[in-house]
A and B are shown apart, each in its own frame.
Chain A
Amino acid sequence: QKEVEQNSGPLSVPEGAIASLNCTYSDRGSQSFFWYRQYSGKSPELIMFIYSNGDKEDGRFTAQLNKASQYVSLLIRDSQPSDSATYLCAVKSPQEAYKYIFGTGTRLKVLA
């Protein structure tokens, strides 16, 4: 079982819709979770981090964490074509403070 799993996609949504990106992780002791966005040919950039169960909102983005289900998601409201990118879920290892484990990413396409 992979440590951090994401559906590779592509996930296609129409402009203005809600895009829902999902991530599961295997280590139940994980405490810190991150969503990065990576445009084609560019480097990853942080969108949000979340530590506590529940929802965390930042503008059009909402991160949701459910530690019991070992599940973290990212919702993008009012999706725009400029949101088209690969979204990487990352989990900080509970055993090694400096180690961030990435999923394979979900490619999102927002159709104009």
Chain B
Amino acid sequence: DTAVSQTPKYLVTQMGNDKSIKCEQNLGHDTMYWYKQDSKKFLKIMFSYNNKELIINETVPNRFSPKSPDKAHLNLHINSLELGDSAVYFCASSQGGGGSGELFFGEGSRLTVL
């Protein structure tokens, strides 16, 4: 039973298209995240939600729009895709901001923009 699951795992699309990635966690965590990992393995935070409230919004183009319908789900919609958006997008969750703060990652969604 996967703790943090993302769909789709692979996404190949043309420039200019719009795409969405979905994430669900069954750990009962309050906080969910989107991270982007580029080809050099740099894992950069994009957004974080705590109990459906946006708490971290890094300098990300407004073509990226997260949405959290409830605390177990966090989706990412990307408009007008560009070549530079090609990366692996990881969803993660944690139990609040305190404590050990361990992040539990999904398997990643590899986005390729042609």
Query: Interface of chain A, helix or strand or loop or mixed?
Result: strand
Indicate whether A88 reaches chain B with its CB closer than 8 angstroms: yes
A90 CA to B100 CA in the complex, in Å?
12
A-B pairs under 8 A by CB, number: 59
Q: Contact partner of A45 among B40, B43, B100, B105, CB < 8 A?
A: B105
* Given A43-B106, A43-B108, A96-B56, residue A102 in contact with residue B101 (CB < 8 A): no
Please determine whether A100 and B101 come into contact, CB atoms closer than 8 angstroms: yes
Please determine whether B102 and A97 come into contact, CB atoms closer than 8 angstroms: no
Indicate whether B50 reaches chain A with its CB closer than 8 angstroms: yes
Please determine whether B44 and A49 come into contact, CB atoms closer than 8 angstroms: no
Q: For chain B, residues 30 to 74, give those with C-beta under 8 angstroms from any C-beta of chain A.
A: 31, 33, 35, 40-45, 48, 50, 55-56
Q: Chain A residues near B90 (CB, 8 Å)? A: 43-44
Q: Chain A residues near B35 (CB, 8 Å)? A: 102
* A60-101 Cβ-contact flags toward B at 8 Å (1 or 0): 000000000000000000000000001010101000111111
List chain A positions with a Cβ less than 8 A from chain B: 8, 32, 34, 36, 38, 42-46, 49, 86, 88, 90, 92, 96-102, 104-105, 107
Kindly list the 4 A-B residue pairs having the minimum CB-CB distance in the complex, ordered from nearest: A97-B97, A43-B105, A102-B43, A98-B97
12 sample A-B contacts, Cβ–Cβ < 8 Å, listed by A number:
A32-B101, A36-B103, A42-B108, A43-B106, A44-B103, A92-B101, A98-B33, A98-B50, A98-B56, A98-B94, A99-B56, A102-B44
